[in-house]
Amino acid sequence: MNFKKFFAAAAACAVAALSTVAMNVSAATEIAYTGPSAGAVSVDNNGNDYRFNIYNVWGNDVKDINNNVTVEKNLAVTFTISGLGSHTTNVDDNGNPTTAYEARLMGAAGANEYWGESDPSKNSVSNPAVSIKGDGQYTAVFNMAEPTGSIECLILQTNINIYQLDVTNPASAAECGITVKVDKIVADGDTTTTGGDTQDPTQAPSDNSGNNNQAATQAPANNNNNAQAATQAANNTSGLTSGGAVLGNSTQTNSATTGDAGVAAAVAGLVITAGIGAAAVAMKSRKK
């Protein structure tokens, strides 16, 4: 028996198995956020609802991300909102609650467009709303129907009426008392969370420093009955990991998640192990 040929064939099978799995690995890429720049905070076309521009050169000059980025399935924006106080809903003229606060990602990325639900005919994708239930951290998702190499417009749009907050008749949206901080933007994160309406802000524990500066953190969504612990920081909730490379102003490097790569390595190992075992049996038989 030609053992050199046998081992060469086993190695080739391992490489083929590794390559096949590697091709199916979804690469998550973190996109660097450089804002907020002047003009990032504005209102919707109705003149009332709080809007936060991430990349919008249509009537604005907000370029707070590198928009030349390849996105295949989704963009996820994790943000922290503060300044809402006790407000969680809009109210009517009599002060009665009407619509609960929510946020969605709107805009255009290649052939993928979403501009809200007022005129669905303009939308080529569907982006779910995330419920805003107070100050805290949330994640909104822009879904892709097809891959794109650029982002033409990306807006975090809320339905929060800025004139119903504690600031009476603010001169602008920037002075209404709301602050939005973009924590992370991830392209093609391996996540089943799509915004949803099951996210509740939770209070982070005190740092024992004697002050009351406590950061609000977001409990993950449990869509599709996938209950997750709010403290799963080590795994970077819902798969939005920073394991992907940070995309700066000019370069993009994708880094595959370790899960599928581990499977590929395991497959390759099994193939090689099987080959070695077979060779050992053959050698033993030959000696007899």
Q: Give 196-229 pLDDT, tens digit per residue.
A: 444 444 444 444 444 443 444 444 344 444 434 4
Where in 210-261 does DSSP place strands (E)? 216-218, 246-247, 255-256
Q: For residue 12, what are its two tokens?
A: 């080739």
Beta-bridge partner residues of 100: 89
Residues 35 and 51 in one domain: yes
Q: Is the pLDDT of residue 127 over 80?
A: yes
Distance in angstroms (rounded) separating the CA atoms of residues 152 and 4 = 56
pLDDT tens digits, 64-117: 999 999 999 999 999 999 999 999 999 999 999 999 999 999 999 999 999 998
Q: For residue 108, what are its two tokens?
A: 């255009």
Asked if 247 and 28 count as a contact pair (C-beta separation under 8 A), the reply is: no
Residues 208 and 75 in one domain: yes
> By percentage, how much of the chain surpasses pLDDT 70?
57
Average pLDDT, the chain: 73
Distance in angstroms (rounded) separating the CA atoms of residues 165 and 90 = 9
Residues 206 and 226 in one domain: yes
Residues 153 and 265 in one domain: no
Residues 51 and 18 in one domain: no
The whole-model pTM stands at: 0.63
Angle between helices 258-287 and 3-23 (to 10 degrees): 170
What is the torsion angle, in degrees rounded to the nearest 10, for the CA atoms of residue 100, residue 101, residue 107 and residue 111? -40
Residues 234 and 268 in one domain: no
Residues 102 and 193 in one domain: yes
Specify the number of domains making up the chain: 2
Q: Is the pLDDT of residue 40 over 80?
A: yes
Q: For residue 263, what are its two tokens?
A: 């499977």
Query: Which range marks the domain in which residue 45 is found?
Result: 28-255
Residues 199 and 262 in one domain: no
Residues 107 and 233 in one domain: yes
Mean pLDDT of 248-271: 41
Residues 99 and 235 in one domain: yes
Residues 40 and 106 in one domain: yes
Residues 17 and 79 in one domain: no
> By percentage, how much of the chain surpasses pLDDT 90?
52
Asked if 154 and 105 count as a contact pair (C-beta separation under 8 A), the reply is: yes
